[in-house]
């Protein structure tokens, strides 16, 4: 199989990740932060080591503010619902994933808060102005994706963080498509809360994610329970990370995530980005010249930045038909709405959906040739 569905989950995983997960399963089989025996300490040491690695990778400066979650969606729910107060209002972009819009809409339908989507523009200034126009007196936070998971368009996180701070509210970044791809310093960017999947650009196993907290804004808990500390109290501990990490942690997954982060560091974030953008430009250029193919990601735009992924459609075919035809040829892509209805509304692609292509560090020239040849054959018959 030729795999271009890396925006959903990167595959394959680096050997170091697979070996680390296996080692954790065989040698770290005890609950970290619970027991007082050798294996429990070893598991806790492993977990703390990965917190430290992630804190350094994102320049957070506080390993204890790295919260492990089961994915980026859980991290976003922790922040959105943790910041929500009765009568408040949120602003997000018009390119958000359902991981942002569904928690917001759920809060709205429960009568807790309201929300609106700011229009993104073809320049960063227009995008910031779009957000500015949505801010109200009761806005509790701005939430924004680092890059659209459908079209790849990157958004100006640092400028939006500055806008949020000018209004005295926190800024939340969804790094689902940019963690491990675009460099980020939490301390320099001004991002207050960042949510990232472990299983995409950080090359960890599925079932891993992180919330990075760079703010004193108090998050109410989504879930309470055993944390291994202050156990005589009925109330949830205040300190991070335990406050937001009730229950047994995914030790093998987190250990694997640590190995994934090391792999990304060894390859270099800038080098990974350059490799993947080279591939995407090559694919975009070829697709743009194919009959019946419509490309939605303008990687050569002088005013827009992109994460290394793109969307296209073939005239007369639903995206799912194209995805199925590619699958029959052994090529894995993602078709449909990509759990991002708002982004498809913005681009006018709701009816057909799009076919999304995303490479990884393992994508080779031959994979690109196979993809392009298959799309050409399918489009020719359309």
Partner 1 sequence: MQKLLIQVGSVTYAMKAKSVLQRHGLHASVIKTANPKKNEGCGYSVSVENPQVNVAALLQRENIDILGTKWAT
Of 44 and 371, which CB lies nearer to partner 1 in the complex structure?
Answer: 44
Of 48 and 362, which CB lies nearer to partner 1 in the complex structure?
Answer: 48
Of 35 and 121, which CB lies nearer to partner 1 in the complex structure?
Answer: 35
Buried b (16+ CB within 10 A) or exposed e, 68-93: bbbbbbbbbbbbbbbbbeeebbbbbb
Contact of 159 with 132, CB cutoff 8 Å: no
Of 153 and 262, which CB lies nearer to partner 1 in the complex structure?
Answer: 262
The CB-of-41 to partner 1 minimum distance in angstroms stands at 6
Of 55 and 346, which CB lies nearer to partner 1 in the complex structure?
Answer: 55
**Cα gap 348→37, rounded to integer Å:** 58
Sheet of 139-145: strands edge to edge? 66-69, 209-213, 193-197, 171-174, 139-145, 88-93, 113-118
The CB-of-362 to partner 1 minimum distance in angstroms stands at 33
Of 228 and 260, which CB lies nearer to partner 1 in the complex structure?
Answer: 228
Question: Residue ranges of the alpha helices (H) in the chain?
Answer: 15-27, 38-57, 72-83, 98-109, 124-134, 157-166, 186-189, 251-267, 269-288, 319-328, 341-347, 365-381
The CB-of-243 to partner 1 minimum distance in angstroms stands at 10
Of 245 and 276, which CB lies nearer to partner 1 in the complex structure?
Answer: 245
The CB-of-30 to partner 1 minimum distance in angstroms stands at 12
Of 239 and 301, which CB lies nearer to partner 1 in the complex structure?
Answer: 239
Please name the residues in contact with 348: beta carbons below 8 A apart, sequence gap of 6 or more. none
Contact of 42 with 28, CB cutoff 8 Å: yes
**Cα gap 9→212, rounded to integer Å:** 20
The CB-of-228 to partner 1 minimum distance in angstroms stands at 6
**Cα gap 258→210, rounded to integer Å:** 12
The CB-of-170 to partner 1 minimum distance in angstroms stands at 20
Of 64 and 158, which CB lies nearer to partner 1 in the complex structure?
Answer: 64
User: Where do contacts with partner 1 occur on this chain (CB under 8 A)?
Assistant: 32-33, 35-36, 41, 44-45, 48, 51-52, 62-64, 227-233, 237, 239, 241-242
The CB-of-208 to partner 1 minimum distance in angstroms stands at 17
DSSP string, 261-296: HHHHHHH-HHHHHHHHHHHHHHHHHHHHTSTTEEE-
**Cα gap 151→309, rounded to integer Å:** 7
**Cα gap 186→86, rounded to integer Å:** 29
The CB-of-160 to partner 1 minimum distance in angstroms stands at 28
Angle, in degrees to the nearest 10, between helices 72-83 and 98-109: 30
The CB-of-28 to partner 1 minimum distance in angstroms stands at 14
């Amino acid at each position: 199989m030729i795999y271009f569905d890396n925006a959903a989950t990167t595959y394959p995983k680096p050997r170091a990740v697979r070996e680390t997960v296996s080692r954790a399963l065989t040698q770290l089989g005890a609950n970290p932060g619970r027991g007082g025996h050798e294996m429990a300490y070893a598991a806790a040491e492993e977990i703390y080591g990965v917190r430290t690695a992630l804190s350094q990778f994102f320049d957070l400066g506080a390993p204890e503010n790295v919260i492990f979650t089961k994915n980026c969606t859980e991290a976003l729910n922790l922040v959105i619902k943790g910041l929500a107060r009765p009568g408040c209002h949120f602003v997000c972009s018009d390119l958000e994933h359902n991981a942002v819009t569904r928690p917001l809409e759920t809060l709205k339908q429960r009568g807790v808060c309201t929300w609106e989507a700011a229009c993104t523009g073809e320049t960063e200034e227009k995008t910031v102005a779009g957000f500015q126009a949505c801010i109200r007196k009761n806005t509790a936070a701005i939430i924004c994706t680092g890059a659209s998971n459908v079209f790849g368009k990157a958004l100006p996180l640092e400028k939006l963080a500055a806008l949020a701070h000018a209004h005295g509210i926190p800024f939340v970044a969804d790094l689902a498509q940019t963690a491990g791809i675009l460099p980020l310093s939490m301390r320099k960017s001004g991002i207050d809360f960042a949510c990232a999947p472990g299983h995409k650009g950080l090359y960890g196993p599925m079932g891993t994610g992180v919330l990075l907290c760079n703010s004193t804004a108090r998050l109410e808990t989504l879930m309470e329970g055993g944390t291994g500390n202050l156990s005589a109290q009925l109330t949830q501990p205040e300190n991070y990370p335990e406050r937001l990490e009730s229950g047994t942690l995914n030790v093998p997954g987190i250990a694997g995530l640590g190995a994934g982060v090391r792999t990304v560091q060894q390859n270099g974030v800038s080098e990974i980005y350059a490799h993947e953008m080279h591939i995407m430009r090559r694919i975009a250029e070829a697709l743009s010249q194919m009959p019946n193919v419509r490309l939605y990601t303008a990687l050569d735009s002088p005013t827009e930045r992109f994460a290394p992924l793109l969307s296209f459609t073939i005239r007369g075919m639903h995206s799912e038909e194209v995805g199925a035809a590619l699958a029959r040829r052994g090529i894995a892509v993602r078709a449909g709405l990509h759990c991002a209805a708002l982004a498809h509304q913005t681009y006018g692609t709701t009816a057909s959906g799009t076919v999304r292509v995303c490479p990884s560090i393992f994508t080779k020239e031959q994979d690109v040739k196979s993809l392009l040849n298959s799309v050409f054959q399918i489009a020719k018959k359309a």
